[in-house]
A and B are shown apart, each in its own frame.
Chain A
Amino acid sequence: MVTKPKLKKHTLGVTRRGLITSVGAGVVSVATMRRATAVPPVEDVEPDEMVKLTLRINGRTHRLLVEPRWSLLFVLRERLGLTGTKLGCDRGECGACTVLIDGRPRYACMTLALEAEGTEITTIEGLLHGEELGETQKAFVEHDGFQCGYCTSGQIMAAEGLLRANSHPSREEVRLGMSGNLCRCGAYAHIVRAVEKAAEFKGSRGAR
């Protein structure tokens, strides 16, 4: 089914909005954005046509065929079975789908799978050391930084991203860093404590 895509002379990358517009026009432009600075090659495919994609997730390489419109979230959950990453709104409002892309927290629902090619993706499953919980995960259990647990993967990934960028955040920095993630059970007070504890765990590991 996959035809050899024709190359087209485009110089701009693809935004989600731009892509949706092109779907409406009947032709999809597919960009493989490796680095924001590079000029991406742009290909033309039909809307229902599958394209090849290689993703690096938790240190593993996955090769698969995707529709260009598929979100990274859909591919993670429904095609690769990495269901630790949750779907809360599918519209960039709640952060339940937060993953790390090149170490930074990103909403997987607002990221096309194609956009993530060439990046290093880390999901909640990738924080485990074998069967053992990572430091941030342990801190969330210890401080009960959740209730139903559905937003928790996203909260933990946001915390992980925050702590990788800032190993000793102040309380205000923690609150700001976690403000892109909704929790309807309202566990925020415990989440803040859990993130502070995670910083402590990570600090003591570094000191060892």
Chain B
Amino acid sequence: MNRDSLYYITGALPETPVPAQPSEPWAHTSVVGQAHPRIDGYERVSGAAVYPSDLVLPDMLFGAILRCPHPHARVVRVDTSAADAMPGVQAIITAGTPAADLRWPYSRNLATKLFDLHCRFEGEAVAAVAGETPYQAWDAARAIAVQYEVLPFVADEARALVGGAPAIHDGGNRVGEVERYARGDVARGFAAADVVLETNYRTETEFHTPMEPHGCVAKWDGDRLTIWESTQGVFPVQQRVASVLGLPLANVRVIGHYMGGGFGSKLQADKYTIIAALLARKAARPVKLFLTREETFLAVGNRPPATMRLKAGVKKDGTLTALEFSCLGTGGAYPAGGTSLVDWLVRDLYTCPNVKSEMTDVYINAGPARAMRAPGHPQGAWALEQMMDALADKIGMDPVALRLKNIPSTSQGHDGNPPYTTTGLRTCLEQGARVFGWDEARRRPHDKGRIRRGVGAAAGLWIGGSGGPPATVLVKLFSDGSANLNLGASDLGTGTKTVMAMVVAEELGVPVERIQVEHADTGTTQYATASGGSKTVPTESPAVREAALAVKKQILDIAAEELKLAVADLTLKDGAVVSRNDPALHKPFAELAGLRRRGELVGIGNRGPNPEGKTICPFAAQFCEVEVDTSTGEVRVLRFLSANDSGRVMNRLTYESQAIGGITMGLGFALSEARVLDRGQTGKLVNGNWHDYKIPTVLDVPAEIDVVPIDRPDPEANSTGAKGLGEPVTIPTAPAVANAVYHATGVRPTGTVINPVQLAARLHALRKEG
């Protein structure tokens, strides 16, 4: 996977040392795999957790960013004289401020200015203010008079390459070359098929909209800068800030202990990070700069729209013979992976010898995309998984059976066709169908009345989710037998801290409650990549295990010497050294003289490499039942089931939460979430708030969601056997709903969102024909 096509990381990734000897997989576990409440649950439910937006520093100011209201414009003049004189204003910066004349990298090859005079999307930063209160900062921001030369815009990707469309960048509106892929010969594949179907599909732009808005608090102490940022990765933020401001890494400390959701939109520092730092330096006071909710819809990312065409051939026995896919997408006004990985499932999910794909990414005048929960995959799944359903229908085969007929053991999408370390796709489908009661539900006679029920299934895999180096972790055992775990990764709310503490508890026999976790602080923890791509657990947990094992070795050596027993006879349990052969021997850590003398034992763990020549992927299958009101077109999701192969289940409780969360987000993608741009008249976003952009509420999701973990540790993947979970849980959701709607009504919703008005109209038309 080309990370750069999704988001641009400043600098190179460090290489961590390879562990001398890979640890054996766990034969059995006593802590890992249990349902353990979060170790930071108290902080999160009591209000004690300090999220970056909660930070209140002495003498702190509040920042506000004035943004371009036009989709495409040139800044002619910025007059801050009125704003300068307003009460409470402490600093204003614009393109004309020498210290703000900075280069901002959008990608490896494309940079603009921090305040660029050429505004290519609605919401581009034009100026910023720091004031005593956010009210005063906003008063002043609004009082800045900006004269714009409004330019013609294009806000519709279908028009971006049409002659006469305004060029957004000098080279035109194409983002690089058309991305092409081919294996086999699709023409021959289609010729060999008994049934060939070809359908257009479309998914709309989705916004991340995490509950905590994007932003940070910036504070200078001389030439040292501390930033508390709501982020998925403190180290990428540090690298970007140091690079843009020209500071040594040691002078930029980024802290991100808690954060209120990211979903891919907080993988990097943003312009606001730099702006907060500049305002704080100018005012010589700390500045809190958090975006308003409306700004988060304009300027901090989205899942790009996909206009797709898929042609598929199948034999009567269910053998897929060919898949031909094309996609037009846009990451907005800058290179942002507008079509990244949209074709991956077509290439990789099912056995198919002949596959061709062609993807075109264009610029439009809209906010740049960012990686969003399994980039490309839910879009591709929307097309492929509905196509599989349609093919099954056409050849009179059960849709689950058709999928089972085409399960690959190798990753065909990768060069060289490497085998998967493990694939639980078949088990996900079979076990999921069994628990769901799929066969019974499919056999049920069709409803004839106004309210009709249907069931649908869809499957998926996630290209990432393997994790890998770098990761370096420290574990410290204190003389009283309690421990400290030190890792750089962020916990997005996925339960990272808890899972990692469970790994330490597993190895050291220390209760989870006696483990303190220090994390996500560039000043006190080791480099970690941003938490994203469903890779945090498979990346960090093996390093945590290595670190714990390094401590374990030390304590066993100490105990063996003191007890005059062989190391092989000893193990650690419940905060004590115990003998394997003599159950009576029980020596609490605190009673070991050697440990008391040392005070603490420190272990370092590194993440080893992934196996060569193999592909590591998590897999998923989801099933749902819906009820459609054929008169109004309303769709109600009655029940949902997710079966997941994400390797070892690390924490049964947070595993379930992640699956529930992924399904809920997928339901929004299917049923209610779509960016609406006023494409014709103004090019502006018309639903940039939570009133008009509908994310699911508790009433929009089924009360009962079944989570069926396929608990199958992957011993080849890494030493904990875990694969990623956060993304695969949202990939098949939307097409599962669409397939259920088809099953209920005979109408196939090929575009998101499944809109009651359109669905009702199509149902009405169907009745007329019928």
A residues lining the B interface (CB < 8 Å): 48, 67, 69-70, 74, 77-78, 81-91, 93-94, 96, 123-125, 127-128, 133, 137-138, 140-142, 144, 146-153, 156, 171, 175-176, 178-179, 181-192
Q: How far is the CA of A131 from the CA of B80 in the complex (A)?
A: 49
Q: How far is the CA of A88 from the CA of B213 in the complex (A)?
A: 7
Q: How far is the CA of A175 from the CA of B41 in the complex (A)?
A: 23
Partner of A184, one of B41, B53, B210: B210
Partner of A175, one of B43, B696, B703: B703
> By the criterion CB–CB under 8 Å, are B698 and A191 in contact?
yes
> By the criterion CB–CB under 8 Å, are A88 and B135 in contact?
no
A contact residues around B690 at 8 Å (CB) = 89, 91, 93-94, 182
Residue B585 is within 8 A (CB to CB) of chain A in the complex: no
Q: How far is the CA of A167 from the CA of B62 in the complex (A)?
A: 42
> By the criterion CB–CB under 8 Å, are A128 and B46 in contact?
yes
Q: How far is the CA of A185 from the CA of B698 in the complex (A)?
A: 12
> By the criterion CB–CB under 8 Å, are B699 and A175 in contact?
yes
> By the criterion CB–CB under 8 Å, are A152 and B44 in contact?
yes
Q: Mark B260-302, 1 if CB is under 8 A from A, else 0.
A: 1101000000000000000000000000001011000000000
B residues lining the A interface (CB < 8 Å): 37-38, 40-51, 53-56, 62, 87, 133-135, 208-213, 258-261, 263, 290, 292-293, 492-495, 653-654, 656-658, 660-665, 689-691, 695-699, 701-705
Partner of A188, one of B37, B62, B290, B698: B698
Partner of A124, one of B47, B51, B653, B663: B47
Q: How far is the CA of A93 from the CA of B51 in the complex (A)?
A: 20
> By the criterion CB–CB under 8 Å, are A141 and B47 in contact?
no
A contact residues around B663 at 8 Å (CB) = 186
Closest A residue to B53 by beta carbon equals: A87
11 A-B pairs with C-beta separation under 8 A: A89-B293, A90-B292, A128-B46, A147-B492, A147-B657, A182-B211, A184-B210, A184-B263, A184-B665, A185-B493, A186-B660
- Identify whether the interface residues of B are mostly helix, strand, loop, or mixed: loop
> By the criterion CB–CB under 8 Å, are B697 and A190 in contact?
no
Distance (whole angstroms) from the CB of A79 to the closest CB of chain B: 9
Closest B residue to A156 by beta carbon equals: B45
> By the criterion CB–CB under 8 Å, are B133 and A67 in contact?
yes
Distance (whole angstroms) from the CB of A166 to the closest CB of chain B: 16
> By the criterion CB–CB under 8 Å, are A125 and B657 in contact?
no
Number of A-B contacts (CB under 8 A): 191
Distance (whole angstroms) from the CB of B358 to the closest CB of chain A: 34
Partner of A82, one of B47, B209, B293, B697: B47
A contact residues around B653 at 8 Å (CB) = 144
Closest A residue to B668 by beta carbon equals: A186
> By the criterion CB–CB under 8 Å, are B46 and A124 in contact?
yes
Closest A residue to B655 by beta carbon equals: A144
> By the criterion CB–CB under 8 Å, are A83 and B134 in contact?
no
Q: How far is the CA of A176 from the CA of B697 in the complex (A)?
A: 10
> By the criterion CB–CB under 8 Å, are B47 and A85 in contact?
yes
Partner of A187, one of B53, B213, B657, B703: B657
Given contacts A93-B689, A144-B38, A150-B211, contact A188 B696 (CB under 8 A): yes
Q: How far is the CA of A186 from the CA of B210 in the complex (A)?
A: 11
> By the criterion CB–CB under 8 Å, are B211 and A93 in contact?
no
> By the criterion CB–CB under 8 Å, are A187 and B46 in contact?
no
B contact residues around A175 at 8 Å (CB) = 698-699, 703
Partner of B260, one of A82, A144, A149: A149
Partner of B661, one of A94, A125, A185: A185
A contact residues around B689 at 8 Å (CB) = 89, 91, 93
Distance (whole angstroms) from the CB of A60 to the closest CB of chain B: 15
Q: Pick the 6 closest A-B CB pairs, nearest first.
A: A84-B47, A186-B664, A150-B260, A148-B493, A149-B44, A83-B54
> By the criterion CB–CB under 8 Å, are B665 and A186 in contact?
yes
Distance (whole angstroms) from the CB of B727 to the closest CB of chain A: 14
Q: How far is the CA of A102 from the CA of B41 in the complex (A)?
A: 27
Partner of B211, one of A123, A148, A192: A148
> By the criterion CB–CB under 8 Å, are A144 and B492 in contact?
no
Q: How far is the CA of A141 from the CA of B43 in the complex (A)?
A: 10
Q: How far is the CA of A150 from the CA of B43 in the complex (A)?
A: 11
A contact residues around B45 at 8 Å (CB) = 124, 133, 137-138, 140-141, 146, 149, 152-153, 156
Closest B residue to A154 by beta carbon equals: B211
Q: How far is the CA of A153 from the CA of B47 in the complex (A)?
A: 7
> By the criterion CB–CB under 8 Å, are A187 and B212 in contact?
no
> By the criterion CB–CB under 8 Å, are B260 and A148 in contact?
yes
